[in-house]
Amino acid sequence: MKVLVTGAKGFVGQNLVAALENIRDGKDHFHIIEALYKNYSFGSQVDDFPYNPADLEIIKYDIDSTKEELEAACRDCDFVFNLAGVNRPSDDAEFMKGNYGFASDLLDMLQKYNNNCPVMLSSSVQATLSGRFAGSEYGKSKLAGEELFFEYAARTGARVLVYRFPNLFGKWCRPNYNSAVATFCNNIANDLEIQVNDPSTELDLVYIDDLIEEMLLALNGKEHRCDYVGDKQEVYAVNSGRYCYVPVSHHESLGRIVDLLKTFHNQPDTLVIPEIPDGSFEKKLYSTYLSYLPESKVSFPLKMNIDNRGSFTELFRTDKCGQLSINISKPGVTKGQHWHNSKWEFFIVVKGHGLIRERRLGTDPETGENYPVMEFEVSGDNIQAVHMLPGYTHSIINLSTTEELVTVMWANESFDASRPDTYREFV
């Protein structure tokens, strides 16, 4: 199967080509296929895919490609992703030439070779020419391209897939161009100024990975279809719709986006990882933000609290899911010897040889004696997690005389010096 991607060096093009190459090379195609079928209930068998991923050929076309290369691709291709377009020309007249004109040339070449393969068009919500997009020259050029595609479908019987993309964001998006999110991510990551004229401005946003999933579905005839209805030209999902759309999107204000980005920016200082539930806008924005970090910020120092027993270093903390730390004990050293009312922890030894001891506070009413001590011998050669129970005093001993003991420690709450919930008591 030969797939032509025009605008292959652009934001969407780079991400789409990377996904197609992963499928072709077998790096991730089982994962992608199974995830798509699971998410959209199209089945569960790789055999349902209508082509052999190993036979996938990706033809990349961009502004530096030749007309002859485009013509050869149009003669042979089995599917076209038309992502090429003009976003920020020096002259508004270039909108029509770059968006309508190229689309016309592409369709003419396909028709020249009687190639009625499916063709996808990357259009824009600005083509609605409604609301703040009224009078948009860019929108007019996109609308003209859409009508060209619909006329082509009626004339040739080819399947066309017209997507009106809203604001897009994700890795590799060009900052200071046509994406406010990319600009904010880049500038905040690099300590540059940003300008927000109206924090309450609302954006409809689609994340690049969600868009690429939809593109892969479209490639296999499983696109989501819709119509645009009402004065505001809102999406109305319908299987027989004239247009296509990405079903996963987010509606966020500029002010909230900036606030989140500033939280991400401060993470190396606060060590706080914000809530990033699966599928959430926060998770997608955080991944986007990280892709703009300069080399100087890819790594950052952590504060090691060092004494004659070893060291303790907090790695990160969360608002609702506690904190993670690394504890290093020198040979023969015992640490801990305290208990908590409500706090509980996991101790996970990843290097060395140690002994974890725990004892419930108080005395056994049946014997009048202290409760027995539980002991867990632990080693980096056999990694296991040991609960530090509430109401149990506990300690960890490095049994080695030569090797440090390295323990990953997770606590169910971040340490609060004003309410430490930590009380001295020998096991």
Strand-strand pairing, 79-82 and 2-6:
parallel
Rg (CA), the chain: 29
Produce one character per residue of 12-21: b if its CB has 16 or more CB atoms within 10 Å, e if not: bbbbbbebbe
Q: Which of 37, 100, 138, 207 is catalytic?
A: 138
Q: What is the 3-state secondary structure (H, E, C) of 271-287?
A: CEECCCCCCCHHHHHHH
Distances in whole angstroms, Cα of residue 37 to Cα of each of 47, 66, 230, 238: 12, 37, 32, 20
Contacting residues for 19 by C-beta, under 8 A, at least 6 apart: 32, 212, 215, 216
**Residue 138 annotated as catalytic:** yes
Cα separation values, 152 from 13, 80, 101, 110, 155, Å: 23, 14, 14, 10, 5
Q: How far is residue 412's CA from residue 263's CA, in Å, rounded to a whole number?
A: 22
Residue 38: both structure tokens together: 């699971």
DSSP designation for 212:
H
Catalytic annotation, residues: 138
